Amino acid sequence: MILRPSYSDVKIICYYLGRIMLGIGLCMIVPLFIGIIFKEWGPALDFVIGMMASFSFGFLFTSLFYTKEDLSWTHGMIVTALCWVVATFLSAIPLYLSGHFCTFFDTCFDAMSGLATTGLTIIQDLDHLSNAHNMWRHFIMFIGGQGIVVIALTFLIKTAGAFTMYTGEARDERILPNVIHTARFIWLVSLVYLVIGTLALAAVSVYEGMPVVRALLHGMWIFMAAWDTGGFTPQSQNILYYHSMPFEIITISLMLLGALNFKLHYAMWTGNKKEIFKNIEVVTLFITILTTFSICAVGLVRLGVYPETVSLFRKGFYQLISGHVGAGYTTLYPRQFVLEWGGLSMIAITIAMALGGSACSTAGGIKALRIGIIFNALRQDVKRMLMPENGVIIQRFHHIRDIVLENKHLRSAAIISICYILLYFGGAIIGMFFNYPLMQALFESVSASANVGLSCGITKASMPLLLKMTYMLQMWLGRLEFMSVFALFGFAFAAVRGR
């Protein structure tokens, strides 16, 4: 028998959602400040309206549903799933007021894409967007990469049930014993790299002839999206706009850093630099990057697309690494994938996007840890078949420490991997329903589900509404890695059919 949720359950969920709404409103102070500095009074007013809406809903929910009860496991999962929907709606308000979107739903598409660090966009006339709105587009990507819940745990929510929300946001690894301290460490790492990355990118931009203030802004925005493996840029040509090899090399470095497990960052920050050479995720990432790029390079060389080594690196390797770690940065126009790359190279980059970066990082996709665990389980089974019947096989893998491979590790990795594969092909089928070829539909579906942001030209304002809804759902499911969303669906079912 399924028990119907009580009013107390709804009250707890709504109260903590209200706290997160207040947090979204506070975050809008950043773009408001930029608008005031650059005397963009219209955009500044847009964020005043956005803050008023966020604070109004936030105070309404925290007042009407005030409670001192802590979050249970189910409550935490549901709050996590819903807070991304609520944040999408509230984040979209000032962006819609900019006048750069056809409909409010289109704005919600971009807001979800930013928060989920996907990077697919249907904004109009991006090159003339205000500094304040550009700051907000990239800042919500920065928020989404660290996690909305991580922000809430850092500043707003400090309860014993906080770990359930942290887990619901696809971060099931504690870096420090206390989940609040873990959230703060994630922000410390991100802010330190923000300073370093911004200055490095700004220095290159100034060297290339960009004014200092504009260079600092572009450096900060590009860092936010590179570190959080997002893909938004302030220019419609993406990274191609900068036409700079040093700029591309720096963004590759930042994308790779963003794709590493925060637990690995902690190990390196505390002096355990050897961990990077023996960690199962790093080893798996190296192997999958090397394999997929080899396939991609063979396809490009056969077609003679990039005859020179430098151009093969700047076009072929850049897109491959960007896709693999889920960054979505590109030095190509979207239709070049279809018109120039050919089937072999496109399938290589599609596989790379599907595999993704590290667990407990800002990257999306299946994740290197799960791929490594599945491969190790395969090795274990092969060894078992070759051993005598009474032989005992113990398979270990190294992830910060040596871990004995157990069925629970394989089960968890396999379930999430299967969910991702079903999501990839489900989105591709819907794309084919609208008469897009299989390869293109699969490419776009994987890009949305794995929170990558590369496009072969399907994602645009004129695409069918159902396809926009599909990609938004995929971005949401892919970012949260299913479980908290499944908990929300189960809660809704119990509310309707429970007793």
What secondary structure does DSSP assign to 197-233, as a single string?
Answer: HHHHHHHHHHHTT--HHHHHHHHHHHHHHHHTT----
What global pTM score does this model have? 0.91
Q: What pLDDT does residue 74 have?
A: 81
Q: pLDDT digit of tens for each residue in the chain (499 aa)?
A: 466 777 888 888 899 899 889 989 999 999 999 999 999 999 999 999 999 999 999 999 999 988 888 777 788 788 888 988 999 999 999 999 999 999 999 999 999 999 988 989 999 999 999 999 999 999 998 888 776 655 655 555 555 555 555 555 555 555 555 666 777 777 788 888 889 999 999 999 999 999 999 999 999 999 998 888 888 999 999 999 998 899 999 999 999 988 888 888 778 888 787 888 888 888 999 999 999 999 999 999 999 888 888 888 889 999 999 999 988 899 999 999 999 998 999 999 999 999 998 887 778 889 988 999 898 888 887 877 777 766 667 777 777 777 887 888 888 889 999 999 999 999 999 999 999 999 999 999 999 999 999 999 999 999 999 999 999 999 999 988 888 888 888 888 887 776 6
Nearest CA-CA partner of 168 in 148, 191, 145 = 148
The residue ranges of every structural domain in the chain are 1-172+469-499
> For the stretch 63-77, what's the b/e string if a residue is b when 16 or more beta carbons lie within 10 angstroms of its beta carbon?
eebeeeeebeebbbb
Cα–Cα distance, 125 to 136 (Å, whole number): 16
Q: What pLDDT does residue 136 have?
A: 96
Helix (H) or strand (E) holding 397: strand 396-399
Query: Does residue 325 come out as left (phi exceeding 0), alpha (psi in the -120 to 50 range) or beta?
Result: alpha
Q: What pLDDT does residue 30 have?
A: 94
